[in-house]
Amino acid sequence: MLYEHMDLLESIGLDLLFAAIFFFIGMAIRDVLRDADVPPFGKKMVWLVLFLGCAGFVAKGVIQVFWEYTI
């Protein structure tokens, strides 16, 4: 049974890995922004770029799910 669902387990594991990477990148950026005394506008721009990268990753996953189930 486990071998039959190997593709699903791989995709879930890969998604969790990417989520963990985004989390650790966010923590590193927060630490650098706090220690570097960055102005508020710069902080907002950095977080916007990080959020857009994460949103693009989520959008790719949603599009992929819809694409697989419609074909």
Give residue 1's pLDDT.
Answer: 63
* CA-wise closest residue to 29 among 10, 45, 18, 13: 45
Q: CA 47 → CA 28, 29, 34, 35, 54, distances in Å? A: 12, 9, 13, 16, 10
Residues 2-37: tens digit of each pLDDT:
777 888 888 889 889 988 998 998 899 999 999 998
pTM passes above 0.75 = no
The residue extents of the domains of the chain are 6-70
Average pLDDT over residues 31-49: 93
Is 69 or 24 the better-scoring residue by pLDDT? 24
Strands (E), 1-71: none
Q: Please, which pLDDT band fits residue 71 given cuts at 50, 70 and 90?
A: low
